[in-house]
Amino acid sequence: MWIIIYFYLFIFSFILSLVLTPLFRRIALRLKVLDIPSARKVHILPKPLLGGVAFYFSFILTILLNLIFLKIFWNSSHLIQLIPSSILGKIPPLQREIHKILPIVFGGTLIMLVGLIDDIKGKRMQASVKIISSILVALFMVFLGVRITLFTPNPFWGGVLTVIWMVLIMNSFNLLDNMDGLAGGVALVATFIFAGITSFHCQLFTSSMLIIFAGCIAGFLIFNWHPASIFMGDAGSMWIGFMLATLTILSTFYSEGQKTLFPVVMPILILGVPIFDTVSVMLIRLVRKKPLFVGDKNHFSHRLVQLGMTQRRAVAFIYLVTFCIGINATLLSTVGRLGAMVILLQAVVIFIIIALLEYTGRKSVGKIR
C-alpha cells in the first residue's frame, strides 16, 4: 500500500516543480541571471538560470507541507481514521527517522547557496572555491552524523570516505551539466533505481525522500529538454549531487546475510556515468596539457556530438548507459561473488567500449577532414 504514498509524493513534488520552474524563469529574466553563450558552451542564446532554485524549493515545500499534513491527521481522531491501517502502521517507524531531514535541508541549502552566488555573479567561480566549498559542506554533514560506516567503528575513516564521496558526486554533476536535460535526466534515472532498491529493502525514509527528489527533477525537466527554456545553474547541479551523495549514504545497500559485500558498490555503479565523465575529461586535459579546472568541450556528451550525434541523441544515449549499468547494479545483492565480479567487469567493459568507439570515431572524422 505504501506505493500509493510514493505516487502521491511524486505527483505533489512534480506539480510544485512544474509551477515554480516558470516562476523562477521569469525572476531570472527580470534580474538578468542568465547563462551567457561562450566558446565552451553549446547554446547560442542567453538562457535564464535559477531552475535549480525552483526544484530546491519544490523539495523543501513538499517536505514541509506534508509534515504539517501528517501532524494534522495524526492529532485528529477523525482524520486519522481515513488512513488505511496498512499505511498507518508504517508511519511511527518513519517518524523516528524524520530527524534526518534537518542535515539534508541544512547541508543542501548551503551548497545551493554556493552555486546560486556563482549563478548571480555571472562570472564563473574558480574551481578551487567550489571544491573547498563542497569539502566544507561535506565536513558539516559528517559533523551532523551523516557518515559512511563501511563496517568499521572508526569514525575517522568513515568521515574521510564521506567527504571524498560527497565532493566527487557534487562536482561530477556540476561538470555533467553541460547539455540540455543531461544532468537532470541522469539524476532522474539514477534516483528511480535508488528508490527501487531502498523501497525493496523497506527503507521508507530514504525511498520517500528519493521519490520526492525525483518528482522535483521531473517537473524541471519538462522545461529543460532541448531546446531548454531554463537551466538549473550551479545551484541546481551542485544540489543534485549533494542530494544523491547524501541519500546514498543514508541508505543501506548491504544487509547481514547477503552473499557478498559487493552491494556496497551499488552507488558507484549507478552513478558511474557522472564519475566516468569527470575522470575521462580530466584525463583528456592531462594528456593535452590543458588546465584541469578550465571548462571545455571534451565532456562525454560533447564527444558524442563530435562523433555525429545530435544533442538529443547524445543525451538519450547517456540516459541508456546510466540505466544499463544502474539496473545491473541492483543484482549485486542477489548474486554470489562470481556473479558480482561479472557485473562489475561488465560495467568496466561498457565504459571501455565507449572509449574505444570515441577514439575510433575521432580518428575517422580526422581522416575525412
Q: What's the average model confidence in pLDDT over 267-278?
A: 96
Which percentage of the chain shows pLDDT scores above 70? Answer: 94
Cα distance between residue 37 and residue 228, in whole Å: 14
Do 86 and 69 touch, CB atoms closer than 8 A?
Answer: no
Among the ranges given (39-53, 177-191, 325-339, 344-358), the one the predictor scored with the smallest mean pLDDT: 39-53
Cα distance between residue 68 and residue 188, in whole Å: 27
Give the model's confidence band at 1: pLDDT under 50 very low, under 70 low, under 90 confident, else very high.
confident
Quick one: pLDDT at residue 295? 74
pLDDT digits (tens, 9 = 90+) for 307-318: 889 999 999 999
Quick one: pLDDT at residue 363? 63
Quick one: pLDDT at residue 124? 66
Within the chain, residue ranges assigned H as helices are 2-31, 51-74, 85-88, 91-95, 101-121, 127-143, 155-176, 182-200, 204-224, 233-250, 266-270, 272-287, 300-306, 311-329, 337-368
Cα distance between residue 52 and residue 116, in whole Å: 9
State yes or no: pLDDT of 201 exceeds 80: yes
State yes or no: pLDDT of 8 exceeds 70: yes
Grid cell listed for 360: 575510433
Among the ranges given (53-57, 275-279, 332-336, 340-344), the one the predictor scored with the smallest mean pLDDT: 332-336
Contact partners, residue 175, CB within 8 Å, separation at least 6: 274, 277, 278, 281, 299
pLDDT digits (tens, 9 = 90+) for 245-257: 999 999 988 776 6
Grid cell listed for 287: 594528456
State yes or no: pLDDT of 94 exceeds 50: yes
pLDDT digits (tens, 9 = 90+) for 114-128: 999 999 986 667 788
The DSSP bridge partners found for residue 35 are: 47
